[in-house]
Amino acid sequence: EFLRQRCLELNPTNPSIHSNIGYSHYQYARELTQQGWRRDGKPLEEIEKSLQYLNNALAINPTRVNDLYRKGQMLSELLPKLVLFSRGARPEADKYKFVNDKIKEGIKAFEDAISAYENFSKQDEFNRKRYYKEYVKCSYDAARAYSDLVANNWDAVQFVLSLDHNI
Q: What is the DSSP string of the chain?
A: -HHHHHHHHH-TT-HHHHHHHHHHHHHHHHHHHSTTS--SS-HHHHHHHHHHHHHHHHHH-TT-HHHHHHHHHIIIIIHHHHHHTS--SS-HHHHHHHHHHHHHHHHHHHHHHHHHHHTS-TT-HHHHHHTHHHHHHHHHHHHHHHHHHHHHH--HHHHHTT--TT-
pLDDT at position 133 is 96
Average pLDDT, the chain: 87
pTM for the structure as a whole: 0.84
| pLDDT tens sequence across 140-161 | 999 999 988 876 665 555 555 6
| pLDDT tens sequence across 16-74 | 999 999 999 999 999 988 888 777 888 889 999 999 999 999 999 999 999 999 999 99
